[in-house]
Chain A
Amino acid sequence: MSTTSTVSAVPAADGGKGPVVSDAQRAARRRVARVWAGRIGLAAFVIGGWQAFTSWGIVDPFFFGQPSGIWQRLIDLFQHGTQFGSFYQNIWTTIQEALAGFAVGSLTGIVFGVALGQSRYLSDVLGPYIKMVNAIPRIVLGSIFIVAFGIGVTPKILLAAVLVFFIVFFNAYQGVREVDRNVLANVKVLGASRMQTTRHVILPSALTWIIASLHSAFGFAIVGALVGEVLGAQSGLGLVIKTAQNNFDPNGVFATMLVIAVIVLGAEWLIGKLEHRLLSWRPPAPSEANAL
């Protein structure tokens, strides 16, 4: 009964334009405006300061780049491409590698995490090895992959997948471990088989953890692809950065960095959408309403 009354109270608050409501709306709008003013002001301060210091000669643009130069270089890259194909093609190579590595790494991470989370024996046997491999600085594996698989896309995908795997794996494992014991006992008594328990209870429960890990995992997929390209490649943004570095072209490095940031933000946005869809059952957390 109480639910019905609260539900009907919400539209009333929205529809009725009482003085209290419009006051609250105005206050909320003012707050949003102030936040945006602060954001734009901060960006103007940093970029403007950078531009000013380099043009006054306090900071040498030859080593540290210059915002206007970065912008020029970005336009130039998009219009004239690089020595090794158009800029779009290089972007596409990196995105492909990152996506493939992300898919492979997160899928294997989920499978291993769910399997080890459910089997005490498996986790006891494999646990120490996984911790050991996790302790290796995995970027170094890139060198081995390049030696083993050449300078094509395969070593980059592998490196990205390895970086993604561990993040997703540990989260999936923890998510499975956190499943409510009462719920498990309940579905067992209701007659659920092992497969049904995994599908209806364990996976959805672990999904909250897995999705949270995907946010940072895509960033790591890009890192894996880029590092692989810097180590040796025929195309890709990592190669663009490496070439710019060799030519003492900091503007080129910054311009490529900007493009990478846009890619990661786009992926982040897509994962956010996915999260929203898959976890629509969750009660809206108070922190989410104010989230950035």
Chain B
Amino acid sequence: MASRNDVATSPGAGAADQANARIEISGLTKRFLTPAGEVFTALQGVSFTVEPGQFCAVVGPTGCGKSTTLGLVSGLDRPSEGSVKVGGREVDGITDGVSFMFQTDALLPWKTVLGNVLMGPVFRGVPKQQAQASARDWLRRVGLTGFEDRYPHQLSGGMRKRVAMAAALINEPKILIMDEPFGALDVQTKAIMSTELLSLWEQIRPTVLFITHDLDEAVALADRVVVMTSSPGSVKEVFDIDLPRPRGSVQEIRFQPRFIELQHQIWDTLREEVERAYALTAGGKE
């Protein structure tokens, strides 16, 4: 019960600094030095804004620098030019209150499910007992009660994703960064996980930056879809998705006329980029 109260109070505290969760990206450029000694421009003048509590999806062809953008927002990497501001503050070092979810699960195989979810609070110095209580609470929320003592290899892909979700959300992040989190799942599991993600997101409302290849997924989940160009990546167009919330099941929403309309609109923009990227990679291989 004590843990329930803790969890219940923290979103209230989070609401006070809701404005801290705005992500402003302006003129972002990132260059890398290739092993051959050439300069490779991954991102070129990327600018867009994600409002606090907004679910923003980024779609774009392979290799357009989507993951690079996420690395810059989380503070794992530094921009060559331009700036990323979170809550009005320039990002330098690991951004506070950020959680990450990757395509491959970043769970520690030598820790139990409970141990994995515990990591966030433990790294922040939360007392062990309190941390355990909230870890159990989060495992219950993602429907994994009774699996606390299992090791990740004993779980199915969908269950591992749920553990990763609990581990990412337990710190009540103000920003949740997701790099194709459900990319490796089969279609059915993906739909179930997307629906669960939406309902968890609606409970604590962090700002979400979500990368995906899957346009349907982007439209079904997001408030705003950013379409990026092929390499070097820049913003091609930003679409606002006005489908009403709560959206409920992700499978159902695909049949709404407005969904289909938006999906067509965005695909028209995205298609030429995908084709260009494909021609580049296919041509480059010859």
Contacts and interface: CB of A to CB of B under 8 A. Distances in A.
B48 interface: no
Interface string A158-184: 000000000000000000000010110
A182 B167 CA distance: 14
Nearest to B107: A183
B123 A282 contact: no
A79 interface: no
B60 interface: no
A2 B160 CA distance: 13
A196 interface: yes
A201 interface: yes
Nearest to B104: A182
A288 to B, nearest CB: 14
Contact of A3 (B107, B122, B155): B155
A108 B80 CA distance: 40
Interface in B109-146: 109-112, 119-120, 122-124
A193 B122 CA distance: 11
B106 A192 contact: no
A120 to B, nearest CB: 16
A187 B76 contact: no
B264 interface: no
B108 A191 contact: no
B109 A281 contact: yes
Nearest to B102: A182
B76 A190 contact: no
A200 B108 CA distance: 9
B54 interface: no
B171 A190 contact: yes
B123 A281 contact: no
B100 A200 contact: no
Contact of B76 (A180, A188, A191): A188
Given A182-B106, A204-B110, A283-B153, A189 B119 contact: no
A82 to B, nearest CB: 47
Contact of A193 (B107, B123, B156): B123
Given A3-B154, A192-B123, A204-B108, A186 B100 contact: yes
Interface of A: 1-3, 180, 182-183, 185-193, 196, 200-201, 204-205, 207, 279, 281-283
A-B pairs, top 10 by smallest CB distance, nearest first, are: A186-B106, A283-B153, A281-B110, A191-B123, A192-B123, A204-B110, A189-B100, A182-B106, A190-B120, A183-B106
